[in-house]
Chain A
Amino acid sequence: MKVCFTYLLCLLSVCGLAQEPVNISFGALRARSIGPAVMSGRISTVDGVHREPNLFYIGAANGGVWKTRSGGASFDPIFDDYTQSIGHITIDQAHPDTVWVGTGEPWVRNSVSVGDGIYVTLNGGRTWAKKGLELSERIAKIQIDPNNPSTVYVAAQGPLWNTGGQRGVYKTEDFGDTWQHVLSVDDKTGCADLTMHPENPNILIAAMWDHQRYPDFFRSGGAGSGLYMTTDGGENWRKITTGLPSGELGRMAVEFAPSNGEVVYLTVEAAEGKGLYKSYDGGQSFEFVNGEFGVTVRPFYFSRLTVDPTDENKIYKCGLNLSISEDGGEGFRQVGSGVHSDIHAIWVSKSNSDYVVIGTDGGGYRSLDGGYLFEMFMNLPLSQFYHISVDNDTPFNVYGGLQDNGTWFGPSRGSSGMIRNSDWDITNWGDGFYSFRHPTKKEIVYAESQGGNLVRFNKFDGQRKDIKPLPEEGEPKYRFNWNSPIAISTHQPDRIYFASQFLFRSEDMGDSWDRISPDLTTNDPERQRQRESGGISIDNSTAENNTTIYAVCESPVDENVIWAGTDDGNLQVTQNGGADWQNVVQNIDGLPRGTWCSYVEASPHDAATAFVTFDGHKGGDQDIYVYRTNDYGQSWTSLVGDGIKGYAHVIRQDPEVASLLYAGTEFGLYISLDAGLSWRRFKNNLPATSVRAIDIQEEESTLAIGTHGRGIYFIDNLGPLRQSSSEIKDSILHFYDLPPTVVRLPRMSRPFGGAGNFAGGNPSASAEIAYYMKKRHTFGKMRLEVFDQDGNLVKELPAGKSAGINIVQLPLRLPPPKSAPTKNRMALFGSLMTPALTEGEYTVRITKGKRTFEHQIALKPDENSLYSKEERMLQQKVLKDLYDMTEQLAHVYGALEEMEQQATKLEEPTIKSFGEEVAKYKATLVSLDGDFYVNEGEEAIREEISQLYLGVSTYPGKPSDRQIQKAAMLAEAFSEVKSTYADFESRAKAHNKKLLAEGKKPLVWKTFEQFKKA
């Protein structure tokens, strides 16, 4: 290991890069989730508690497990520390806090992720224990023996892109501590469905499925497929053939009717005789019932049946649409009502079988009328992006395409204080992939759907122009990938690249195209089988198109340097704008031939430098391949070291700091601060879901992360990462220099939406103070103070104590004024208003034990502010006067109250009557008649000041003339209050002389300073 490390070190030092590893904790640097949940994402499984149907769990294709106790009004992610691809969830209905989660989605489309075994919780998801079956990769079903819950059966579907692994039916009798492999057929066949007899848990029927995927081909069905039954808890299995088609079978769904163990439903994929079958003898034999589209469609994606818990004739079949039969399968109705197509999961409550929850490619829905009308859960941010990009607007927008959910864009900062579902807009339908906004024309957006259908969308009128390159006379057919690469240019705004097996360039936004390469792929006819793909059911959706270009990048340094990577393992580069191409993949040591090139990044720092990722998982190779070249691909260095895992989708180099790299793999985001010597997974609020896309917004120094299952995340400030070099890593405390904080004006929120809608957070509205510490601060005092330019203490804040990066939020609002009591509602609102911290420089001082550390930060106004500096200053001045007046009045009121309370208790009549006089005057300063609501009461000076303060504080520009006049009038009136108070004060002092002379306790009251402190 050491040798290998030294070797890497030498290699990198030759390249003049970072020479020592910088591997620091990300500490308090957090990713911000913005959803979106408006289109949500694929849900693979649902299970609920029968006796409490508002409590159910949703398992997502690549977004973890979510729990609701409120019928979907809110969901909590409860599985974020584990594998995010979920196969099946089963609740032990007798002990509903016991929930089994099998990982690895069983709906094996080309983009499916991978699981790592089975987990169980005994406390409703608070904590989880892993229970083995790590090599199963996909778990299709879990069945618990209701009489003995430590006995559990698992349908292990097995590795998809490979043979072997753990596949078939597994059984545990000791709560998952050990497993017996009770049914296996061969190393290509897994168990796709498993159903247990409702009364006799020793009777189970298993649907075994022979299948495999390849980069260019899919096979569903084969000799291994078949239906098996056990009547002795898995000891012996018998193949069931009576009534079934005689040829090879594909994927099947099988389900006992919960209310009648003699009735079993089955869907069969077969060349002949495909359709719905029914057994009346508990699964011994089956009869063909129905062959309609709804029960035969796309078996690999939809083979799941649910039978109503109380009605053996009501069945739900997953499919392109949800099909429901109420007559035992003779006829089906299709569910409409705006439900997303592609249904994968159904749960019907036993206590109320009209209560139906379904999972689709576009999120989850609930029906309360037995499956007629469905409402969508608008709070599940499971969106599955293939690619994302950012524009340069303020605030910037993010664009991206999703699995079966088109292409969308949304803001990085929502105008209502958060990013809502309603902030997102769609640009194209289908499956969506790359999408870019035109670099200068704000209304132009490029988007595509599967198989190379490229469009140019106009935000202004919402119209799309088809700009897909079409073959010219004499050209071969173009082969476009499912997920074809679009690239834009940093040199020519109207330029766009698109690729089939050829690379195309347009200089006019796609209106016309030049072909600038020969076929850059292997053009291997063996890998062009998509028309026969699918196995028993032909499934030629372009998902298996192969020998295509998959990754394209023009160098930001030299527009003549263009890279192209292919899905069949070529990596090509031109240095003269496409006139000549060189395949440089053979220069990469250790990369298996033919490995899919998933991404290529031309360095923003150097034309000869590029980074590339390869992904062999579709060929059964889940290793990670990440490389760098500094010589146009003549030689390559692997950047894979400790700390990074998962097959690789993307790598990006920071445009400012060359040694800062970001990589996305199937299991998360990884960051290297030392040019790839060492990596760390970024975990702070970012689950281990598939990170498929990364972009960097340069003006805002923001990293945008596109996940295939949990939507989009931002790391809002790259400053700390960019400044974490080897020079600072031994510092006790080192401040990061952040750009001045822009003081943004808040907008009104949109209230009263109730629960049920996702809202993504905006970037912090506070000024951020960031620093690095080598070690966590655990012993002794540590304080953080902020001073203004005059050295006044503005704020004391809790310091961050973490090793690594600390970020402390300095709120840009000062505390509200201390104020006298009132029962007037508007006046109360007024005294709750907080003035803004004004623009300018501030000093941050951290005292850590005996050491102090200082740093300057700055606040600056929004450049796009509509208010001139003079106007803002005037508003601040008027507001400050009213703020001070509020506090002074509060002090006067408080001091008078102290005098009153003490004086009225004394025997001495002159002092007593003085107290009564004080009380009388004090009562004229405030209004206590109101009820904080519709009874506003009479207004006294306290209310007048606060109401004006409220009015002035809500607008950052010049106050109105009347407001200014009113402020002057109030100042005048208040000066009278002050002189009256001064009079009371001197009279009280006179009384005190007397009291002291008599040896009695004098009257005490607070000075303004004491009052402020109290």
Chain B
Amino acid sequence: MKKLLSVSLFSLLVFAVQAQTADEILTNYFETIGGVDAWKSLKSMKMEGTSSMQGMEFPITVYSKRPNFEKVEISVQGMQIVQAFDGENAWSINPMMGSTEPAKATAEESAEAAKRTFEDAFIDYAEKGHTVELLGTEEIEGTQAHKIRLTKKSGDEEFYYFDAENHVPIMMRSFAAAGPMKGQAVETYLSDYEEHEGLIMPMSMEQRINGQTFMQGTMTSVELNAELADNVFTFPAAEQVTDEEDEMKEGMKKEGAEMKEKSEKIKKKAKEKGSN
């Protein structure tokens, strides 16, 4: 018991020493990206750009707002794919998956989405219940980088690699939370950092699994503190839709009704068959 105690004291001590260094790295980082105060006063953001997947390019718009509201719109061959979180529910519209109706995600997916906060997790990380630990330096894309482990209050771990010279993260490694890729490391490479109204942010990100790029995004415009009402993010209910969405919805309803009619016909037929 005594031994155990001394070991944990020792590790606490080590942790304290390392945390200090990690904090220095984070201080440099905050200074480089425009200061904690400036980032804390940022309320919302709208970004537009292009994303590419498997050699195909799509226009992308990302809306985000405190505390954890998010909506991503991707246009594929004229079809809108939407993924959003409204503080409570994650939901999506994905015509590529066969439905133009908005669909709520599973509770598990919603819980995952809720964890993605608008504010940088490193800001006031201790108050948020997260911990950080410096794990040394590693070479990332030919560049010396400090490796920092962020352990979130939830227990989730993410690894950030801060460019030792330029103080900004150039890579982030997280782990897929669900699905067939569950547990797989996803690496996000960050570059094209640019200044917008005093804030420095990466305009290009590339996601790789097993070293292979599967998604890449380049942002071309940024609107800070964009006017974004909560209902931009909420799961579409009849009273909240804008004109444009209205039209879309009407179209969807129509299709929905057709589908319903069809399926009822099929059901009816099946019944008839069954009774024969």
Q: Provide the A788-804 mask, 1 if CB < 8 A to any CB of B, else 0.
A: 00000000111001111
Taking each of B3, B142, B170, B189, which has the highest tally of chain A beta carbons within 10 Å of its own beta carbon? Answer: B142
Contact A803–B141 (Cβ < 8 Å): yes
Collect the chain A residues with CB atoms within 8 Å of residue B216's CB. Answer: 798
Q: Provide the B161-173 mask, 1 if CB < 8 A to any CB of A, else 0.
A: 0010010101000
- Is B238 engaged at the interface, CB distance under 8 Å to the other chain? no
Collect the chain A residues with CB atoms within 8 Å of residue B57's CB. Answer: 796, 815
- Is A762 engaged at the interface, CB distance under 8 Å to the other chain? no
CA distance in complex: A779, B210 (Å)? 25
Contact B211–A27 (Cβ < 8 Å): no
Contact B142–A27 (Cβ < 8 Å): yes
- Is B270 engaged at the interface, CB distance under 8 Å to the other chain? no
Closest residue of chain A to B4, judged by CB? A174
Contact B168–A781 (Cβ < 8 Å): no
Contact A798–B194 (Cβ < 8 Å): no
- With A778-B193, A780-B194, A781-B192 in contact, do A798 and B206 touch (Cβ < 8 Å)? yes
- With A174-B4, A778-B166, A778-B168 in contact, do A127 and B157 touch (Cβ < 8 Å)? yes
Contact A813–B3 (Cβ < 8 Å): no
Closest residue of chain A to B202, judged by CB? A778
CA distance in complex: A24, B141 (Å)? 11
Contact B142–A779 (Cβ < 8 Å): no
Contact A76–B211 (Cβ < 8 Å): no
Contact B7–A813 (Cβ < 8 Å): no
Collect the chain B residues with CB atoms within 8 Å of residue A125's CB. Answer: 183
Contact B55–A811 (Cβ < 8 Å): yes
- Is B203 engaged at the interface, CB distance under 8 Å to the other chain? yes
Contact of A778 among B55, B78, B157, B163 (CB under 8 A): B163
Taking each of A123, A127, A804, which has the highest tally of chain B beta carbons within 10 Å of its own beta carbon? Answer: A127
Collect the chain B residues with CB atoms within 8 Å of residue A782's CB. Answer: 191-192, 204
Closest residue of chain A to B206, judged by CB? A798
Contact A813–B183 (Cβ < 8 Å): no
Collect the chain B residues with CB atoms within 8 Å of residue A684's CB. Answer: 211
CA distance in complex: A778, B29 (Å)? 14
Collect the chain A residues with CB atoms within 8 Å of residue B55's CB. Answer: 811, 813
CA distance in complex: A813, B7 (Å)? 60
- With A174-B7, A685-B211 in contact, do A776 and B218 touch (Cβ < 8 Å)? no
Contact of A25 among B142, B166, B175 (CB under 8 A): B142
Q: How far does the Cβ of A995 sit from chain B's closest Cβ, in whole Å?
A: 20
Q: Provide the A108-147 mask, 1 if CB < 8 A to any CB of B, else 0.
A: 0000000000000001111100000000000000000000
Contact A174–B141 (Cβ < 8 Å): no
Contact B170–A778 (Cβ < 8 Å): yes
CA distance in complex: A1014, B184 (Å)? 36
Q: Which residues, 29 to 57 on B, are CB-close (under 8 Å) to A?
A: 52, 55-57
- Is A777 engaged at the interface, CB distance under 8 Å to the other chain? yes
Collect the chain B residues with CB atoms within 8 Å of residue A813's CB. Answer: 55
- Is A475 engaged at the interface, CB distance under 8 Å to the other chain? no
- Is A978 engaged at the interface, CB distance under 8 Å to the other chain? no
Taking each of A24, A27, A685, A776, which has the highest tally of chain B beta carbons within 10 Å of its own beta carbon? Answer: A776
- With A177-B7, A803-B141 in contact, do A30 and B175 touch (Cβ < 8 Å)? no
Contact B183–A126 (Cβ < 8 Å): yes
CA distance in complex: A322, B198 (Å)? 70
Q: How far does the Cβ of B173 sit from chain A's closest Cβ, in whole Å?
A: 10
- Is A1012 engaged at the interface, CB distance under 8 Å to the other chain? no
Contact A775–B143 (Cβ < 8 Å): yes
Contact A798–B218 (Cβ < 8 Å): yes
- Is B185 engaged at the interface, CB distance under 8 Å to the other chain? yes
Closest residue of chain B to A800, judged by CB? B141
CA distance in complex: A716, B135 (Å)? 34
- Contact-size category for B: 35 or more
- Is B77 engaged at the interface, CB distance under 8 Å to the other chain? yes
Contact A779–B3 (Cβ < 8 Å): no
Contact B203–A781 (Cβ < 8 Å): yes
Contact B192–A780 (Cβ < 8 Å): yes
Contact of A779 among B139, B193, B218 (CB under 8 A): B193
Contact B3–A815 (Cβ < 8 Å): no
- With A174-B7, A798-B216 in contact, do A776 and B142 touch (Cβ < 8 Å)? yes
Collect the chain A residues with CB atoms within 8 Å of residue B77's CB. Answer: 818
Collect the chain B residues with CB atoms within 8 Å of residue A1014's CB. Answer: 78
Q: Provide the A28-59 mask, 1 if CB < 8 A to any CB of B, else 0.
A: 00100000000000000000000000000000
Q: How far does the Cβ of B20 sit from chain A's closest Cβ, in whole Å?
A: 22
Taking each of B55, B168, B206, which has the highest tally of chain A beta carbons within 10 Å of its own beta carbon? Answer: B55
- Is A559 engaged at the interface, CB distance under 8 Å to the other chain? no
Tally A residues with Cβ within 8 Å of B.
36
Collect the chain B residues with CB atoms within 8 Å of residue A841's CB. Answer: none
- Is A507 engaged at the interface, CB distance under 8 Å to the other chain? no
Collect the chain A residues with CB atoms within 8 Å of residue B168's CB. Answer: 778
Contact A126–B185 (Cβ < 8 Å): yes
Collect the chain B residues with CB atoms within 8 Å of residue A24's CB. Answer: 142
Contact B143–A803 (Cβ < 8 Å): yes
- With A778-B170, A778-B191, A798-B204 in contact, do A815 and B142 touch (Cβ < 8 Å)? no
Closest residue of chain A to B175, judged by CB? A126
CA distance in complex: A593, B141 (Å)? 42
Q: How far does the Cβ of B4 sit from chain A's closest Cβ, in whole Å?
A: 6
Q: Which residues, 50 to 86 on B, are CB-close (under 8 Å) to A?
A: 52, 55-57, 77-78
Q: Which residues, 108 to 148 on B, are CB-close (under 8 Å) to A?
A: 139, 141-143
Collect the chain A residues with CB atoms within 8 Å of residue B204's CB. Answer: 782, 798, 801
Q: How far does the Cβ of A418 sit from chain B's closest Cβ, in whole Å?
A: 14
CA distance in complex: A127, B184 (Å)? 11
Q: Which residues, 237 to 257 on A, are CB-close (under 8 Å) to B?
A: none
Q: Provide the B6-21 mask, 1 if CB < 8 A to any CB of A, else 0.
A: 0100000000000000
Collect the chain A residues with CB atoms within 8 Å of residue B218's CB. Answer: 798
Q: Provide the A1-33 mask, 1 if CB < 8 A to any CB of B, else 0.
A: 000000000000000000000001101001000
- Is A173 engaged at the interface, CB distance under 8 Å to the other chain? yes
Collect the chain B residues with CB atoms within 8 Å of residue A126's CB. Answer: 157, 175, 183, 185
Collect the chain A residues with CB atoms within 8 Å of residue B184's CB. Answer: 76
Collect the chain A residues with CB atoms within 8 Å of residue B78's CB. Answer: 818, 1014
Q: Which residues, 755 to 810 on A, are CB-close (under 8 Å) to B?
A: 775-782, 796-798, 801-804
Collect the chain A residues with CB atoms within 8 Å of residue B191's CB. Answer: 776-778, 782, 801
CA distance in complex: A855, B135 (Å)? 41
Q: How far does the Cβ of B211 sit from chain A's closest Cβ, in whole Å?
A: 6
Q: How far does the Cβ of B35 sit from chain A's closest Cβ, in whole Å?
A: 17
Contact A776–B192 (Cβ < 8 Å): no
- With A27-B141, A126-B175, A798-B218 in contact, do A776 and B194 touch (Cβ < 8 Å)? no
Contact of B3 among A174, A803, A804, A818 (CB under 8 A): A174
Closest residue of chain B to A775, judged by CB? B143
CA distance in complex: A174, B11 (Å)? 12
Q: How far does the Cβ of A911 sit from chain B's closest Cβ, in whole Å?
A: 19
Q: Provide the B201-237 mask, 1 if CB < 8 A to any CB of A, else 0.
A: 0011010001101001010000000000000000000
Closest residue of chain B to A797, judged by CB? B52
Contact B7–A781 (Cβ < 8 Å): no
Contact B193–A780 (Cβ < 8 Å): yes
Contact of B142 among A178, A781, A797, A804 (CB under 8 A): A804
Contact B56–A815 (Cβ < 8 Å): yes
Q: Which residues, 852 to 904 on A, are CB-close (under 8 Å) to B?
A: none
Collect the chain B residues with CB atoms within 8 Å of residue A798's CB. Answer: 52, 204, 206, 213, 216, 218
Q: How far does the Cβ of B138 sit from chain A's closest Cβ, in whole Å?
A: 10
- Please name 17 pairs of A and B residues whose Cβ atoms are closer than 8 Å in the assembled complex, sorted by A: A25-B139, A27-B141, A126-B157, A126-B175, A174-B4, A174-B7, A684-B211, A685-B210, A778-B190, A778-B191, A778-B193, A779-B193, A779-B194, A782-B204, A801-B141, A801-B189, A803-B142
Query: CB within 8 Å of B: which residues of A?
Result: 24-25, 27, 30, 76, 123-127, 173-174, 177-178, 684-685, 775-782, 796-798, 801-804, 811, 813, 815, 818, 1014
Known pairs A76-B183, A780-B193. 12 more at Cβ < 8 A? A25-B141, A126-B157, A126-B185, A778-B143, A780-B192, A781-B194, A781-B203, A796-B57, A798-B52, A798-B206, A798-B213, A818-B77
**5 tightest Cβ-Cβ pairs between the two chains A and B:** A25-B142, A803-B142, A802-B141, A804-B142, A811-B55
